Amino acid sequence: MATLLDRRLVSSFLDFLQEVIRTKSLPGDKNEAIEVAVQVLRTAFDIDTSDETLRTNVSLSSLFEQAIADSKTDEVPEEVKQKAEVLKNEGNDFMNFGVYDAAVQKYTAAIELYRCPIYYCNRAAALSKLGEHMKALDDCKVAVSLDPAYCKAYGRMGLAYFNLGMYADAAETYKKAYELDPSNESFLCNMRLAENKASSQQSSTRDANGWRPALTALFNSPAFMQTIYNLSQLPSVQSLMASLGNRSEGGGDVNQNISAILELVQLLSQTFDLNNPNLAENIFSPSRTEGSNEAGNTSTENSNANEKNGFHDVNKE
């Protein structure tokens, strides 16, 4: 039987294959072969995508890149560093013109010559612009591993977490960035923004979970099911349902269909009011909607975070 370490390794490899499929970096027939391989490996190693114990903090590709880099000599000749700096500056120029694919290529070429944390951080900025937030996160993690005091890398890592919907992680990362650079108010602002989103996310989860027991209890209630059955036997309801079915098959008049639906809803409401007047109160009680109004303005939060993460000054590095 495969060990947990084996399964975590296979799970990371499957994540890599899924990324290849998602980005369509291979021809269509090749993607089909990869999809088959994913299913085979998932079955063979009993991989459940919802199993939290199989998750890792870094991607397989970033670990591979790190291992290759570690095998190289630590000393990089000055002339090689200068070539890498030229490539980085060219990447910055592409960023300024909004040509993000080309910027990624330039930063990658610079990294191949010299593993500078600034290059990883700049490439993360370009990847974020392309919507490649997981790859941006990986680059930020490499950057802070090379320079643990690199506050801008933590800031961009926070943005990557935010865009991935991992708001609690984003808040912690922005907090670290602010601790390293207390003069940067944008880190503090983004930390609070991420904290609000994390709180809202938790409230939404609690709210959604609160509905399930209520609905389960409702449909397991003999009284409720008996009421539904009795209602379905009423000639008026049967007539309405038959009328709706005939109009649906024959096209029918839209206004007449709506009128029939409203009449059915009204009849349902009257029936439940008579048989169970507390039904609505039990389902829509305040305890099930608590926290639903937290952390508004979600339509502008992503744009605010993008404006404050430091993309605009990428050319200064």
Q: What is the pLDDT of residues 107-127, one digit of tens each?
A: 999 999 999 999 999 999 999
Write down the pTM of the prediction.
0.52
Supply the DSSP symbol for 313.
G
CA dihedral 122, 125, 130, 136 (to 10 degrees): 90
Q: Which of 37-46, 160-169, 175-184, 206-215 has the lowest mean pLDDT?
A: 206-215
Same domain, 195 and 114: yes
- Residues 166-185 have a mean pLDDT of 94
Query: pLDDT: is 278 or 254 the higher one?
Result: 278
Q: Please tell me the distance from the alpha carbon of residue 290 to that of residue 200, in angstroms, as a whole number.
A: 11
Domain for residue 290, yes or no? no
Same domain, 226 and 275: yes
Domain for residue 295, yes or no? no
Same domain, 188 and 230: no
**Mean pLDDT (the chain, rounded):** 75
Same domain, 86 and 114: yes
Same domain, 276 and 233: yes
Alpha-carbon dihedral sign for residues 93, 95, 98, 103: positive
Residue 3: CB partners within 8 Å, gap ≥ 6? none
Same domain, 59 and 86: no
Same domain, 50 and 82: no
Q: What pLDDT is stored for residue 148 in this prediction?
A: 92
The total number of structural domains in the chain stands at 3
- Residues 155-164 have a mean pLDDT of 94
Query: pLDDT: is 103 or 263 the higher one?
Result: 103
Q: What pLDDT is stored for residue 53 in this prediction?
A: 80
CATH code of the domain containing 15: 1.20.5.420
Amino acid sitting at position 118: I
Same domain, 56 and 99: no
